[in-house]
Amino acid sequence: MIESILAPSVFASAIRLATPYVFASVGEMFGQRSGVLNLGVDGIMLMGAFFSYYVALLTGNLLLALLAAVLVGALMGLAMAFISVTLKAEQGISGIGVYLFGLGMSELLFQKLVGTPRSVDGFPRVAIPILSDIQFLSLGEIFFNHNLLVYVAFALIPIAAFILNRTPFGLMIRAVGQHPEAADAMGVSVVRVRYITVIIGGILAGVAGASLSTALLKVFQQNLTSGLGFIAVALVYFGRWRPFGVLAGALLFSFVNALQLQISALGIDVPSEFAVMAPYVITIIALVFASKQTEKPTALTKPFDRGG
Amino acid sequence: MSKRIRLVVLVMFALSALALLPAAQAQDDVFRVAAVAPSATNDLAFSQSMFDALTLIDEEMGDAFEFTFQEGTFIVDDAAVALREWAASGEYDLVIAHGSQYGAIIEELAPEFPDVSFAWGTDVNTFGLDNVYAYTAASDQGGYINGYVAAMLSESGNIGVVGPIEVGDAKLYVDGFKTGAVAANADVAVNVTYIQSFSDVPLATEAANAFVANGADILTGSAQMVVGPIAVANENGLKWFGTQSSQAELSEEAGVLFQVYRWDVVLMDIIAKIGEGTLGGESYVLTLENGGLEMVLSEAVAAEDAEQIQEWVDMLSEGIIAGETMTLPEAEA
Amino acid sequence: MVSTTTRAFLDRLFNAVPLLIAVIAALVVASFLLAALNADIATAYGAMFQGAFGTVNATAETLVKAIPILFVAIGICVAFRGNVVNIGGEGQMIFGALAGVAVTLWIGESLGVLVVPLALIAGFVAGGFFGGLAGYLKAFFNVNEILSTIMLNQVAVQIMNYLLNGPLLDPAVAGSNNIPKTARIAEIAELPRLVFGLPGMSEPLFDRTRLHYGFVIAVVLAIVIYILLWRTAIGYRIRAVGYNERASRYAGIKVGRQMVLAMFLAGGCAGLAGVVQILGLQYRLQTDGSPAGFTGGAGFNGIVAALFGGLNPFGAIPASIFFGGLLVGAQNMQRAVGIPAALVTTINGLIVVFVVSSQIFTQVRNRRRAKLPSQPERVEARATTAETPS
């Protein structure tokens, strides 16, 4: 029984489910590390999801599709940065505005340009030679038999950690989020750093959307993300602003989700309300036990005012 | 007071009373319908089935019919505002609340506007009001046929069902599907995942993937989030059985059989009744017998299979219409 | 010399100018979208205004829409003043509604009109408990409240789905495959419709509309919370923690307790929003599986309204009415010119973005005027520049 519940396919499913969270959460983490909370991730994801889907539908070119998601994500990130860094708008609200805009706009464009859901030839599954044949603990099946964007998402984690902890730019990001005045005094442009991080966040949110519409689901529909972007924001807090922490959160949440789906796929009778609730409850409980002092970016949500 | 003045006053009263009557109604020969639905008109599911029906009637009746449609009204209170507005305007011959979550609104609203005809579904309850029509679908009938055919076609003997919430026509469909599958082959395993949402495509997709991983070779499901499972079926070479609207276009490779709701059958009858002055009090059920449920075969099915499937569909429909086949487990029927 | 009150009033008035310009700018941008969809712009915006404030009934619907937003917004004022970010309004509303409807159905007609206050209390306590839980996890287990409230929203929905399809299911529809819903509440538990006569008017105002006494309750709550925050020691401590956590700790304030309390009060207000929706409007609780089907998104809109209102319960009143008008008017526009629902959502997003961006202009004006404020005033000034405590 336990063996069939914990089948390798469940772990593979968890990896797939975690992919959009990893993209979106890592992007959001960069913004928050520099002091900008972007609650509009879900809206940017939806725009990225639609544009990559649409371009894939029109051209059949997946690289162009991904590029479309990157571009629209960057544009939405730029808009968010302008609103919250230059205009110093209250970040909680501006994020909700960006979310509503993305939610409505993606659906509107979908209705007018596509009309009815059609499937698209998205990123195919790519089994990595040799590695995908590993039989030991079915590791090959679990980790090395996915679509391209899944690999990209997981490769992103060490890269993000490296940038953040080992490069001058990473140091600037942390400084701007922790002590903007000091960073400013050292000659770091707080505004520029925040623009860059928020745009990175936008790009990754756009790619997260593309990973749904052109890789995992291969279809678009109104509100495709179903609030996934908000969970992604929550996972940044779970990961305490560290790439590997974010990864742990995304994997835990997705694993419990995959597990509850597996349990009903096997026909085991559990009230579905409680099954669906499980990932949310367990994520909170896990954090209770993992609790230690957080090092939150002290300038998070605070606009920077030189001498103000 | 002279008689003449009294007469003038009387006439004025009569005129003003006339003005108070629902204005535009019966002023011309155009039959006007206003409808509210919870999701988008292109959802390939519940809301689209009603939009398609109204569009069909519009094409048939031409200038004698007009309709307005407010989509995406999943917030129940927003629907209440729209329905009240339409009822109060007096411009509509029929006001439709397409969603079982709107029932409570109709129950409160209809008595306030006894001259307006309301229709709502899916449900059978007219609340004892004579200006309310109720409509629902016996989706267990098409579910039974889908389940039977699916079990006959399944090679692995494992079928996965992705459902929204365990209520309404979705539950009826799923229960009918299970009954039909077991009738065809008592050994077939039909497993159901209710994902507790009508719209969560990512979760529905992964639920479908879980079925695939556990050996299912046929998938089915209800509600607008099935676009995800359909894509999974397409990609993994599974067969797909649908309900509510035809999803043939999306499931170009996987699609087999679709149960399509033909609300126009009910609506045409309601329109005729209203024309005769009956504003409600009746409840309708779409069935195979009255043509409200239609089984549509996908073009993806190979010609020789299509013949066999059509034979099953005809045989089962006959049995269901004749009342010989029970489409639900006994406890429910 | 202008008196200080007049000057304060003029100040508020000037602060409203950038807001108005922002709304107009958002509508100008949105008109390009309308034009792209071949909708007549004048008709569309005319319908929007008509639908929000054009008739007595429209105004009533706007106020009806504003009621839950206002309740949540009042709670948000407490939470944000106490430096806790409450994104759990949706879940807290649901919990309040669940408790309220359970108590109402359980009491039935046995206690007469007493059922109303008891249901309200039940809703407040249940919502408060659900909010307080997030506060407790933050204060004592270091679980960030943004994370827990986002997650708890989903938990609340699933608990509602379970209860409405099980223990709380209307016995009349049990087994009939109906949408999960409770029985209808007794008539005695309904909040009466709000109708009042005005001197010089032949007919009473808001006659035959859906406006109910929930609006009065919300305004009373705004007064109570205002007094609590600025005239009592409890409120002082909450604000002190919000203003400077470390200093408050040195001053001997039990910081964790204030956080739990702030979240309890915020959740309680949202819980009231939930129960008032039942007693005043819907008369039963039902679910389509999503939170917004019941809450109408008030748990989120309340945050926006609270911040637009300067985190002041009194400011939240016009802000909520503005939002209610926007939402109701946009629906009317959708009906009048037949645009997709998605455009309405887009326009809402644009308005929120433009309005929040315009706050910088009020801030600049206020800062230019502000001299060194004394300690308590600084808390005020900080909040009126709409800066969230982090």
Domains and CATH numbers, chain A: 2-289 (1.10.3470)
How many C-beta atoms surround the C-beta of residue B301 within 10 A?
18
Q: Which has more pLDDT, B288 or B25?
A: B288
Lowest mean pLDDT among A163-172, B242-251, C112-121, C156-165: B242-251
CATH of C40-338 among 1.20.58, 1.10.1740, 1.10.3470, 1.10.287:
1.10.3470
Give me the pLDDT at residue C374, please. 35
Q: Residue A98 pLDDT > 70, yes or no?
A: yes
Testing the interface with C: which of A76, A273, A301 to mutate, by most C Cβ within 10 A? A273
Average pLDDT, integer, range C162-168: 90
Place of tokens 């110093």: A88
Q: Residue C2 pLDDT > 60, yes or no?
A: no
Contact between chains at C294 and B76 (C-beta distance less than 8 A): yes
Which residues on A lie below 8 Å from C340 (Cβ)?
107-108, 111
Sheet containing B189-194, strands listed edge to edge, beginning at the edge strand earlier in sequence:
B189-194, B158-163, B218-221, B239-244, B255-261, B293-297
Give me the pLDDT at residue C64, please. 96
Average pLDDT, integer, range B175-199: 94
Task: Provide φ and ψ at A201, rounded to 5°.
Answer: -60, -40
Per-residue pLDDT band at C375 (split at 50, 70, 90): very low
Give the CA count within 13 Å in the CB-facing half-sphere of B51: 19
Per-residue pLDDT band at C294 (split at 50, 70, 90): very high
Give me the pLDDT at residue C175, please. 67
Distance of CA A285 to the CA centre of its chain: 22
- Name all chains with 3 or more CB-CB pairs below 8 Å to chain A: B, C
Contact between chains at C178 and B72 (C-beta distance less than 8 A): no
Contact between chains at A16 and B209 (C-beta distance less than 8 A): yes
Touching check for A260 and chain C: CB below 8 Å? no
CA pair distance C107, C189, nearest whole angstrom: 10
Beta bridge partners of B241: B220, B257
Amino acid letter, C107:
I
The 10s digit of each residue's pLDDT in B68-97 is 999 888 888 889 999 998 999 999 999 999
B331 → chain C, closest CA residue: C175
Give me the pLDDT at residue C12, please. 66
Task: Provide φ and ψ at B241, rounded to 5°.
Answer: -115, 130
Give me the pLDDT at residue C388, please. 35
- Min Cα distance A214 → chain B (Å) is 11
The 10s digit of each residue's pLDDT in A9-54 is 999 999 999 999 999 999 999 999 999 999 999 999 999 999 999 9
Contact between chains at A301 and C388 (C-beta distance less than 8 A): yes
A270 → chain B, closest CA residue: B193
Which residues on A lie below 8 Å from B196 (Cβ)?
272-273, 276
Q: Which has more pLDDT, A288 or A165?
A: A165
Place of tokens 């990157």: A70
Average pLDDT, integer, range C108-127: 95
Give me the pLDDT at residue C344, please. 86
Place of tokens 């105004």: C59
Touching check for C64 and chain B: CB below 8 Å? yes
Q: Residue B16 pLDDT > 80, yes or no?
A: no
Which residues on B lie below 8 Å from C65 (Cβ)?
77
Q: Which has more pLDDT, C164 or C173?
A: C164
The 10s digit of each residue's pLDDT in A127-175 is 888 888 888 878 888 888 889 999 999 999 999 999 999 999 999 999 9
Contact criterion met (CB below 8 Å) for C51 and C203: no
Give me the pLDDT at residue C13, please. 66
Burial of B222 (0-12, 13-18, 19+ CB in 10 A): buried
Give me the pLDDT at residue B21, please. 45
Testing the interface with B: which of C65, C69, C159, C179 to mutate, by most B Cβ within 10 A? C179
Which residues on A lie below 8 Å from B252 (Cβ)?
119
Lowest mean pLDDT among A29-33, A299-303, B50-54: A299-303
The per-residue pLDDT of chain C, averaged, comes to: 86
Give me the pLDDT at residue C378, please. 37
Which residues on C lie below 8 Å from A281 (Cβ)?
151, 155
CA pair distance B63, A301, nearest whole angstrom: 58
Task: Provide φ and ψ at C311, rounded to 5°.
Answer: 55, 35
Give me the residues of A, 105-124, that contact C with CB < 8 A: 105, 107-108, 111-112
A157: its two tokens: 């984690």
Contact between chains at A10 and B210 (C-beta distance less than 8 A): yes
Give me the pLDDT at residue B253, please. 86
C59 cis-preceded (ω within 30 degrees of 0): no
Give me the pLDDT at residue B19, please. 44
Bridge pairing between strands A125-127 and A145-147 = antiparallel
Highest mean pLDDT among A47-51, A96-100, B58-62, C386-390: A47-51
Give me the pLDDT at residue C68, please. 97
Calculate the CA dihedral of residues A57, A62, A63, A66 and round it to 10 degrees. 70
The 10s digit of each residue's pLDDT in B276-303 is 999 999 999 999 999 999 999 998 888 8
CA pair distance C105, B176, nearest whole angstrom: 34
Longest dimension (CA), chain B: 94
Give me the pLDDT at residue C45, please. 92
**Nearest in space to A48 (alpha carbons), one of A228, A197, A208, A232:** A208
Beta bridge partners of B121: B98, B135
Residues 6+ away with beta carbon under 8 Å from C116: C189, C191, C279
Give the torsion sign (CA, B285, B288, B290, B293).
Answer: positive
- Min Cα distance B88 → chain A (Å) is 29
Touching check for A221 and chain C: CB below 8 Å? no
The partner residue sitting opposite B74, judged by closest CB among C281, C288, C338, is C288
Element spanning C31, H or E:
helix C4-36
Contact between chains at C363 and A88 (C-beta distance less than 8 A): yes
CA pair distance B216, B236, nearest whole angstrom: 10
Per-residue pLDDT band at B211 (split at 50, 70, 90): very high
Average pLDDT, integer, range C213-241: 95
* DSSP 8-state symbol, C281: I
The partner residue sitting opposite A115, judged by closest CB among B42, B216, B224, is B42
pTM for the model = 0.89
Give me the pLDDT at residue C379, please. 38
Give me the pLDDT at residue B278, please. 93
The 10s digit of each residue's pLDDT in C34-74 is 999 888 999 999 999 999 999 888 999 999 999 999 999 99
CA pair distance B243, B293, nearest whole angstrom: 10
Bridge pairing between strands B117-121 and B132-137 = parallel
Q: Residue C372 pLDDT > 50, yes or no?
A: no
Q: Which has more pLDDT, B131 or A125?
A: B131
3-state helix, strand, coil in chain A (%, to 5): 75, 0, 25
CA pair distance A83, A96, nearest whole angstrom: 12
Q: Buried b vs exposed e over A67-87: b needs ≥16 C-beta within 10 Å?
A: ebbbbbbbbbbebbbebbbeb
Contact between chains at B74 and C328 (C-beta distance less than 8 A): no
Contact criterion met (CB below 8 Å) for C100 and C78: no
Give me the pLDDT at residue A220, please. 94
Strands (E), B1-50: 31-36
Give the CA count within 13 Å in the CB-facing half-sphere of A139: 5
Alpha helix positions (H), C142-213: 145-164
CA pair distance A22, A282, nearest whole angstrom: 18
**Nearest in space to A147 (alpha carbons), one of A40, A229, A75, A65:** A65
**Nearest in space to C210 (alpha carbons), one of C317, C63, C377:** C63
Contact between chains at B202 and A212 (C-beta distance less than 8 A): yes
Q: Residue B311 pLDDT > 70, yes or no?
A: yes
Task: Provide φ and ψ at B189, rounded to 5°.
Answer: -100, 120
Domains of chain B: 7-137+263-286 (3.40.50.2300), 139-260+293-321 (3.40.50.2300)
Distance of CA B137 to the CA centre of its chain: 6
Alpha helix positions (H), A120-242: 139-143, 148-166, 168-178, 180-185, 190-210, 228-238
Q: Residue B20 pLDDT > 50, yes or no?
A: no
B42: its two tokens: 């292109």
- Min Cα distance B100 → chain C (Å) is 6
Give me the pLDDT at residue A300, please. 85
Contact between chains at A119 and B252 (C-beta distance less than 8 A): yes
Contact between chains at B42 and A264 (C-beta distance less than 8 A): no
Per-residue pLDDT band at B116 (split at 50, 70, 90): very high
Residues 6+ away with beta carbon under 8 Å from A265: B160, B191, B193, B207, B210, B211, B213, B214, B216
Contact criterion met (CB below 8 Å) for B137 and B265: no
Which residues on B lie below 8 Å from A222 (Cβ)?
39-40, 43, 72, 199
Lowest mean pLDDT among A286-300, B198-212, C124-138: A286-300
Place of tokens 């990559």: A52
**What angle is formed at CA A227 by the lines to CA A221 and CA A230, rounded to 5 degrees?**
145
Place of tokens 């990595």: A128
Give me the pLDDT at residue C365, please. 56
Contact between chains at A219 and B231 (C-beta distance less than 8 A): yes
Contact between chains at A221 and B160 (C-beta distance less than 8 A): no
| DSSP track, B114-149 | TTSEEEEES-S--TT-TTEEEEEE-HHHHHHHHHHH
Beta bridge partners of B32: B66
The per-residue pLDDT of chain B, averaged, comes to: 89
Q: Residue B23 pLDDT > 60, yes or no?
A: no
Give me the pLDDT at residue C42, please. 92
* DSSP 8-state symbol, B99: S
Give me the pLDDT at residue C224, please. 97
